[in-house]
Amino acid sequence: MNVRHFGELEVIARSPASGPRHPAPLVFIHGAYTAAWCWDEHFLPYFADAGYDCYALSLSGHGRSRNRAHLDSYSIDDYVKDVAEVVDALPARPVLIGHSMGGMVVQKYLERADAEAAVLLCSVPPQGLMGSALGLMITKPNLLSDLDRMLNGGRPHPSSLREALFHQPIDDARLARYFQLCQPESHRAIWDMTLFNLPQPGRMYRPPMLILGAQHDHLIPPAQVAMTGAAYGLPYEVLPELGHGLMLERGWRPVAERIAAWLAIQLA
């Protein structure tokens, strides 16, 4: 692992140790309440071993990136600028891989610039977070309350993190470590994703796009993934026996393998 800074942005970078290198780098964009670390658990080593130069950024106010104390000042457009700052420093046009809120950031980025390809993992749909919030209000009100508490800087119970991110078993030590690494999210960004700055598919560049969801995702359930597919006129896939944090799940490898197989076709 190589922790670098692109300006004031924390970027975790991994590169192939040997063998052929794909010309298109991969840029990973995390979701709400997390940072670049979530990709380095499994995905960055996997894709570096597969021959990709990999970059996972911590958006402004997240991880060790700039102005964590001013997190609430950041909008989705600010996060898009973060991605552009990293992309502009790379030697080739990248593939963008966004999870949850990061998937929304990828969609908004594509209103401004093209990419080699895009992967949306359990992404906020173009219709925004309202449907997801209403669903949680009915089916998981305690989880919604804990997410609101975390948004306001509080600490939810670790069991809420388990419920929000995982379907498969996770040991207490790993859960505790992830719990310590999680953080609040920008109110402004949440409101942008709910109502005020939703993607406009008609204005977007349309690189090849892979849309993946998780069968047991309580935050972006399969019906929301279907909405993303319908908005772009593309097929979508719901991966079985996984929760929202599919890149951290015990069964992360089939997810990475599905993305790698798709990239092999798109980048051939």
Amino acid at 144: L
* CA gap 250, 231 in Å, rounded: 31
In this predicted structure, what is the pLDDT of residue 201?
95
In this predicted structure, what is the pLDDT of residue 149?
59
Tokens of 121: 């993992």
Amino acid at 22: H
pLDDT in tens, the chain (268 residues): 688 778 999 999 999 998 889 999 999 999 999 999 999 999 999 999 999 999 999 999 999 999 988 999 999 999 999 999 999 999 999 999 999 999 999 999 999 999 999 999 999 999 998 877 666 666 766 665 656 655 555 566 677 778 888 999 999 999 999 989 989 899 999 999 999 999 999 999 999 999 999 999 999 999 999 999 999 999 999 999 999 999 999 999 999 999 999 999 999 8
CATH number of the structural domain spanning residue 191: 3.40.50.1820
In this predicted structure, what is the pLDDT of residue 145?
64
In this predicted structure, what is the pLDDT of residue 207?
98
Reduced DSSP (H G I as helix, E B as strand, rest coil) percent helix, strand, coil of the chain, to 5: 45, 15, 45
Kindly list the distances between the CA atom of residue 105 and the CA atoms of 29, 43, 137, 190, 198, in Å, as whole numbers in the listed order.
8, 19, 25, 12, 10
In this predicted structure, what is the pLDDT of residue 106?
98
| Domain tally, the chain | 1
**Eight-class DSSP state of 253:** H
In this predicted structure, what is the pLDDT of residue 131?
78
Closest CA relative to residue 98, chosen from 223, 2, 23, 199: 199
In this predicted structure, what is the pLDDT of residue 146?
59
Residue 121 β-bridge partners: 99, 212
- Residues spanned by the domain of 244: 2-266
